[in-house]
Amino acid sequence: MKSGSGIVHSVQALLMGTPSLDGKSAIVNGRPSWATALGERGMLKFGIGAGFLLLAAVFASLQDIPFDNGAIIIAAAVIGGYMALNIGANDVANNVGPAVGSKALTMAGALLIATVFEAAGAILAGGDVVDTISKGIIDPSLMPDDMTFVWAMMSALLAAALWLNLATYIGAPISTTHAIVGGVMGAGIAATGFGAVDWGTMSMITASWVISPLMGGVIAALFLAFIKFTIFAKEDMVAAARRWVPVLVAVMASVFSMYLAMKGFKKIWRPGPGLVLLVGGAAFAGAYVLSRFMVLKRSLTMANDRYRVRGLFVVPLICSAALLSFAHGANDVANAIGPLAAIVGTLSAGGISTEVGIPLWVIVIGAIGISVGLGLYGPKLIRTVGEQITTLNPVRAFCVALAAAITVIIASVMGLPVSSTHIAVGAVFGVGFYRELLTNWPRNYKRRLVRRKYLFTIAGAWVITVPAAALLAAFLFTVLMRIV
């Protein structure tokens, strides 16, 4: 019989990956080795993921779908569920990663918040209509027939999911929007030729690869510089915090209110510019009054040190993680269910439409899939964004979240198709490089505060996402057309 100590070590090895004495043998002194524990955890995760896909197939089969095309719709539901799993594993990290890296949230707390708000955003604000052609990059009227369109959408969805899976494996947070855009483009070219692609739209997407992360990085660095010089450079940091923290929190509340009005609820509510500004102004006023009261109350007994003052940014940072997750669920669920909705709509109606209604069961598969993928595989990318690129604290993470929301708003006004992943990760790099510059200047030190290997890995993954997904989708489409 295993002793109590042995049981504890076994559980620790299974959950935390504690290595054995030799790192190889299955059991050492009654404890499972690191390799064994890792393998067991991997099989458990794989089993849960496979179980979800099986349930997605059963769930789809219970719906009111055309009998003649039932097998195709069920297969598409499984692929859509697989895509949702990968979105949860890869793309959610940018919403909660900075909060985890700054120790404002534990990993468990971040997973709980992201799961709840991602699902809420997808189900409550995911909308009832979706653009099936993903940003209008191909002309569906050029498709020779309905089934060619169906196979193209299925190939695009599977290609994007496979590429996301690979990116998660190598630890690169990429844009799911760009992955599905690449998939649709590649399948569209394979089906109808290069004339099907709107190259103007593709050029704007390509430009966003450079513009959005740079914009996010610059804005995050500017906010960090402002906080450093207005609060932490002062002799009485507590007094400076009483003055400026309420203003910064009010700015965040205003920005996130406008962000949600413009992006988070865009599928069910489209307010005009005047109303968006009114919502932002009301949020600023309310947040300023509330945060001023809270900061004043906390600062009365606060020691004049950096650690205590940084603590004032923790609650706003947690709120930002929740709001970013809600907006992400509302927007990016379409990347999983858009092509699936297109397939279901085409086979049900017997014709191709650029916009189709989304059945509730399709939204549910997307929402649950994102949450399951986040819980199973999300921690890896959360640690990459929050801990491994550069060191974050609540103030730096606050700047990242605020910069991400501001950049999305600016890009929306300018009409740029940006990626929230690119912006958030760019903001993390911006904060890191600003600190590096501040540390090394003017004495020209060589201290590096940003890990270059992540910079090159992530940038490389961003650059090749669209062409890689396109080539993979074209290959899958060709194979499917030969089989069917």
**Can you give the residue ranges of every domain in the chain?**
1-48, 63-483
Which of the pair, 72 or 18, is modelled with greater confidence? 72
pLDDT at site 226: 97
Q: pLDDT band at 250, cuts 50/70/90? A: very high
Which of 17-21, 116-120, 337-341 shows the lowest per-residue confidence on average (mean pLDDT)? Answer: 17-21
Is the dihedral angle over the CA atoms 423, 424, 429, 430 positive or is it negative?
A: positive
Render pLDDT for 356-404 as a digit per residue (tens, 0 to 9).
567 788 888 888 999 899 999 999 999 999 999 999 999 999 999 999 8
Contacts of 67 (CB under 8 A, 6+ apart): none
Peptide bond into 442 cis (omega under 30): yes
pLDDT at site 223: 96
Examine the pLDDT at 22 and tell me if it is beyond 60.
no
Contacts of 222 (CB under 8 A, 6+ apart): none
d(CA 357, CA 343): 11
Examine the pLDDT at 3 and tell me if it is beyond 70.
no
pLDDT at site 15: 34
Average pLDDT score over residue span 52-78? 88
pLDDT at site 130: 52
Render pLDDT for 411-467 as a digit per residue (tens, 0 to 9).
777 766 677 888 999 999 999 999 998 888 777 667 888 998 888 899 899 989 999
In contact, 371 and 393? CB cutoff 8 Å:
no
Average pLDDT score over residue span 39-61? 89
In contact, 80 and 368? CB cutoff 8 Å:
no
Degrees to nearest 5, angle at CA 251 with 174 and 282: 115
Percent of the chain topping pLDDT 70 = 84
Q: pLDDT band at 340, cuts 50/70/90? A: confident
pLDDT at site 103: 92
Render pLDDT for 162-183 as a digit per residue (tens, 0 to 9).
999 999 998 899 988 889 889 9
Average pLDDT score over residue span 13-38? 44
Q: Where are the beta strands (DSSP E) in 351-424?
A: 355-357
Instruction: Look up the pTM and report it.
Output: 0.84
Identify the burial level of 195 via C-beta atoms within 10 angstroms of its C-beta, where 0-12 means exposed, 13-18 middle and 19 or more buried.
Answer: exposed
d(CA 423, CA 454): 15
Tokens of 467: 């062409």
Identify the burial level of 233 via C-beta atoms within 10 angstroms of its C-beta, where 0-12 means exposed, 13-18 middle and 19 or more buried.
Answer: exposed
Examine the pLDDT at 30 and tell me if it is beyond 60.
no
Q: pLDDT band at 136, cuts 50/70/90? A: low
d(CA 243, CA 292): 8
Q: pLDDT band at 2, cuts 50/70/90? A: very low
Degrees to nearest 5, angle at CA 130 with 128 and 134: 165
pLDDT at site 32: 52
Compute φ and ψ for 357, nearest 5 degrees: -70, 145
Contacts of 286 (CB under 8 A, 6+ apart): 253
Closest CA to 16 of 31, 28, 1: 31
Average pLDDT score over residue span 33-59? 80
d(CA 159, CA 181): 10
